[in-house]
Amino acid sequence: MYLEMKDVTKRIRGTTVVDKVAFTMEKGRVYGLWGKNGSGKTMILRLLAGLILPSEGEIRIDGKCLGKDMDFPESLGLLIENPSFISYETGFQNLAYLAHIRKRVSDQQIRETLEAVGLDPDDRRTFRKYSLGMKQRLGIAAAIMEKPELLLLDEPFNALDTKGVAQVKALLKAMKAEGTLIVLACHDREEMEELADEVFLIEEGRITGHESVDKKG
């Protein structure tokens, strides 16, 4: 998996929200998008997910152009803003519905994914009765369930308690070791530091900084 953004600009009703963004990313690495509220992190993730198309420039995944050669990245896990699920079904049922679309994941794997994010697969509560942190955990579970090659997570640590943050960090480290390309958007630098191999600073839709994070030990 190799990902390239080539001078991507996105304008929405005359406003430039992403401005000539260019980078390359490769498998088995974690990339952080770090920037203030409104800087364009979510827009960049939407572009990478194929949810919106660039106004200018192009996005290539393994050489194939998003929006031309394919509509969406072929193996994608995605968490953007508030995850929405069926309110009157349990966490397990919700994941089972999603799993049914591609039929790549067994009931046993759904149970394991729920446990990995700290949710009880036998919890009878429906999604509407979930706390904010439980909703976030289910959103992460849905994103990682199919073991995607490309994982895009927008503010993955939102609403998570200390234990939840640690669980998710451990999960992401394991996925990275298996070769997943992970992109995290985060406004908190500290939370990202431990995971990210490279951090892009985003300001007003532009990349204004790029640094490698030393991973010792």
Ligand X SMILES: Nc1ncnc2c1ncn2[C@@H]1O[C@H](COP(=O)(O)OP(=O)(O)OP(=O)(O)O)[C@@H](O)[C@H]1O
Q: Count CB atoms within 10 A of the CB of residue 194.
A: 13
Does 16 participate in binding ligand X (rule CB under 6 A)? no
Residue with smallest beta-carbon separation from Mg ion:
42
Residue carrying the six token digits 């992460």: 140
Does 14 participate in binding ligand X (rule CB under 6 A)? no
Per partner kind, with CB cut-offs from 5 to 8 A, the member of Mg ion, ligand X, none near residue 30 is none
Region binding ligand X by CB under 6 A among candidate stretches 39-47, 63-71, 84-92, 105-113: 39-47
Does 173 participate in binding ligand X (rule CB under 6 A)? no
Region binding ligand X by CB under 6 A among candidate stretches 30-38, 89-97, 141-149, 157-165: 30-38
Rg (CA), the chain: 17
Per partner kind, with CB cut-offs from 5 to 8 A, the member of Mg ion, ligand X, none near residue 132 is none
Tell me, letter by letter, the H, E, C secondary structure of 73-109: CCCEEEECCCCCCCCCCEHHHHHHHHHHHHCCCCHHH
Does 78 participate in binding ligand X (rule CB under 6 A)? no
CB of 125 to ligand X, least distance (A): 28
Q: Directed axis angle between helix 162-177 and helix 132-144, to 10°? A: 10
Per partner kind, with CB cut-offs from 5 to 8 A, the member of Mg ion, ligand X, none near residue 162 is none
Q: Which amino acid is at 1?
A: M
CB of 159 to ligand X, least distance (A): 14
Q: Closer CB to ligand X, residue 140 or residue 145?
A: 140
Sign of torsion, CA 201 36 49 183? positive
| Contact positions vs Mg ion (CB under 5 A) | 41-42
Rule CB under 6 A: which residues touch ligand X?
A: 12, 15, 17, 35, 37-43, 187
